[in-house]
Chains A and B, each alone.
Chain A
Amino acid sequence: MRYLSPASFDDAIAQAAQAPGVTRFLAGGTDVLVQMRADIVTPDTLIDIKKIPGTHDIARAPDGGWTIGVAVTGAEMREHVDLGADWPGLVEAMDLIGSTQVQGRATLTGNLCNASPAADSVPAMIAAGVTLTVTGPEGSRTVAAEDIPTGPGQTSLARGELVTAVHIPPRGAGGGDAYLRFIPRTEMDIAVVGCGVNLTVEGDTITAARVALGAVAPTARLAPQAASAIIGTTLDDAALDALAAAASAACAPIDDKRGTVKFRTHIAGVLARRAAKIAYDRARKAQ
């Protein structure tokens, strides 16, 4: 394995384009190094992008949103007061990944590009409407978070392409988000189900919403019917019931060592209901 640490994205892309065999980009390394240790993948070339200027920055974008560098760690996001005030659900989702130690390394981009269906930050990113700048030999393009993973361990990135920035939309007034996951322990587990809810209210009425689910399909996915179930409502019991039913209906999970189809489908509804309540409270307070 070759280890490279380019000083610019241009260099990184050029190196990746020329590298034979398997190439991986290294940000936090909390997935890549595990895969190496477990003999799942040992790349021929590992390109560490952390020495590229700007990759560690959290910056307010001109539109009031946020641009997150691709090497920004969960711990750095958690410590960023303004980011957390705008997008508590997204920050909490990132914070749920692994231990304090893992938080010192893990990144949003890595969590997204590892393309695990159970990645905690991804439903929160999808719900928030996060987009990514993807750059490759052919130039840059903007891609929605939900369009990056295409299946377990698979992404839509072409050979030589990498994510070079994360864009979080402006929060705006009356907005709130939340992410909840179900795990058997209190920490250190992979989500059995994850649910991100992002919504906007005017007064007590929900005017816009996005609901995304994790670990219930080959990729984290938007659940538009679940969002529709609460838009125009005051999140009353009927709306919550409809939300839970729509979230469960959006599931296409598998039986595996972490959970059954039946359990996951049920829990998706429970979490959607609970996450929506938190997002709703946050949104009303943010008016």
Chain B
Amino acid sequence: MSKIHVSTTINGDTAEFLCDPRETLLDVLRDRLGLTGAKEGCGTGDCGACSVTLDGRLVCSCLVLGAEAEGREIATVEGIAPGEELHPLQRKFIEHAALQCGICTPGILVAAKALLEKNPDPTETEVRYWLAGNLCRCTGYDKIIRAVMDAAAEMREAA
């Protein structure tokens, strides 16, 4: 089965890969590009652990084909920290213990970052519904919601 050549941009860097047409963007990120931050929790768009942005739009990378990345801009958890410093969301997640096992954390950070870019001052309910597609089995979400709200507040002050 012939492979497809794809040129794309990931976290600001150009990337090229060959993929089987059946491979998802998640497969490509993890298995071909070594970006294992996005996780496969379900492969069917139900858990959000594979969240990335595609041209700025939050998506499940398991529901995007690798071939569809051609000419698009992809952002993953690996690109959230601007440099040596962590992004405020990342800092607040650590500070609030918004993770226990940490498997859902990359997806939640990508999703939360997309939320705050769209809505810098979300209510608790808005955060809960925005993140409803990001399953966490450890925390009961309490500390996650607090961390997102606190990061939003800090980012508003800094802005």
Answer yes or no: A33 CB below 8 A from chain B CBs. yes
Given contacts A3-B4, A100-B111, A101-B48, contact A188 B133 (CB under 8 A): yes
B interface residues, tally (CB under 8 Å)? 32
Please report the C-alpha to C-alpha distance between residue A33 and residue B4 in the assembled complex, in whole angstroms. 17
Question: A34 in the interface, Cβ–Cβ < 8 Å?
Answer: yes
B120 at the interface (CB under 8 A from A): no
B58 near A104: Cβ-Cβ < 8 Å: yes
Among A3, A30, A75, A188, the residue within 8 A (CB) of B67 is A3
**What class of interface size applies to chain A in its complex with B?**
20 to 34
Given contacts A48-B68, A104-B58, contact A33 B21 (CB under 8 A): no
B57 interface residue (CB < 8 Å to A): yes
Which residues of chain A (38-75) have a CB below 8 Å from chain B?
Answer: 38, 42, 46, 48, 50, 73, 75
A73, closest chain B residue (CB): B57
Known: A1-B21, A101-B48. A37 touches B130 (CB 8 A): no
Q: A42: which of B22, B63, B67, B134 is its contact (CB, 8 Å)?
A: B22
Taking a contact as CB atoms under 8 Å apart, the answer to whether B65 and A37 are in contact is: no
B76 part of interface (Cβ distance < 8 Å): no
- A36 in the interface (beta carbon within 8 A): yes
* Interface contact A101-B51, CB-CB below 8 Å: yes
Could you tell me if A105 and B64 are in contact, using CB atoms closer than 8 angstroms? yes
Give Cα A37–Cα B132 distance, bound, in whole angstroms. 22
The answer on a CB contact under 8 Å between B21 and A2 is: yes
Report the Cα distance A228→B33, complex, angstroms: 59
Give 1 or 0 for each of B26-56: 1 = CB within 8 Å of chain A CB: 0000000000000000011110100100100
> Which single member of B4, B43, B133 contacts A101 (CB below 8 Å)?
B133
Instruction: Choose among A1, A29, A187 the residue that contacts B133 (Cβ–Cβ < 8 A).
Output: A187
In the assembled complex, B59 has its CB within 8 A of some CB on chain A: yes
A105 and B21 contacting across the interface, CB-CB below 8 Å = no
Q: Is there contact, CB below 8 Å, between B65 and A3?
A: yes
Contact with B along A82-98 (1 / 0, CB 8 A): 00000000000000001
Cβ contact of B45, chosen from A3, A30, A36, cutoff 8 A? A30
In the complex formed, the residue of B with least CB distance to A48 is B68
Q: Is A157 an interface residue (CB 8 A)?
A: no
A75, B24: Cβ atoms under 8 Å?
no
Does B62 reach chain A (CB closer than 8 Å)? yes
Task: Determine the distance from Cα of A48 to Cα of B70 in the docked complex, in whole angstroms.
Answer: 12
A278 an interface residue at 8 Å Cβ cutoff?
no
Q: Are B44 and A99 in contact, with the CB atoms below 8 A?
A: no
Instruction: Give A37 to B51 CA distance when docked, in angstroms.
Output: 17
Rounded to whole angstroms, the CA-CA distance of A105 and B114 in the bound complex is 15
Contact of B43 among A30, A37, A100 (CB under 8 A): A37
In-complex Cβ contact of A99 among B1, B22, B64, B132 (8 A): B132
- Chain B nearest CB from A223 CB (Å) reads 29
Which B-chain residue is minimally distant from A2 (CB atoms)?
A: B21
The answer to whether A101 and B111 have CB atoms under 8 Å apart is yes
Cβ A102 vs Cβ B22 within 8 A? no
- On whether the beta carbons of B59 and A104 are closer than 8 Å, the reply is yes
**Is A186 in the interface zone, CB < 8 Å from B?**
yes
Given the contacts A99-B45, A104-B57, A187 and B129 also touching, CB distance less than 8 Å: yes
In the complex, the chain A residue whose C-beta lies closest to that of B71 is: A51
> Which chain B residue has the least Cβ–Cβ distance from A185?
B132
Residue of B nearest to A37 (CB): B43
**A76 and B31 alpha carbons, distance in the complex (Å):** 31
Shortest beta-carbon distance from B134 to chain A in Å: 8
A105 in contact with B44 (CB, 8 Å): no
Task: Please indicate the chain A residues that have their CB under 8 angstroms from the CB of B43 in the complex.
Answer: 37
Q: How far is the CA of A98 from the CA of B21 in the complex (A)?
A: 25
Tell me whether B60 and A101 are in contact (CB under 8 A).
Answer: yes
New A-B pairs, 7, CB < 8 Å, besides A33-B64, A100-B111, A105-B60: A28-B63, A34-B44, A75-B57, A99-B132, A100-B130, A101-B60, A104-B59
Q: Please list the residues of chain B having a beta carbon within 8 angstroms of any beta carbon in chain A.
A: 1, 4, 21-22, 24, 43-46, 48, 51, 54, 57-60, 62-65, 67-68, 70, 111, 114-115, 129-134
User: What are some 12 contacts across the A-B interface (CB < 8 A)?
Assistant: A29-B65, A29-B68, A30-B63, A37-B43, A42-B22, A46-B21, A98-B133, A100-B111, A101-B48, A104-B54, A104-B57, A105-B64
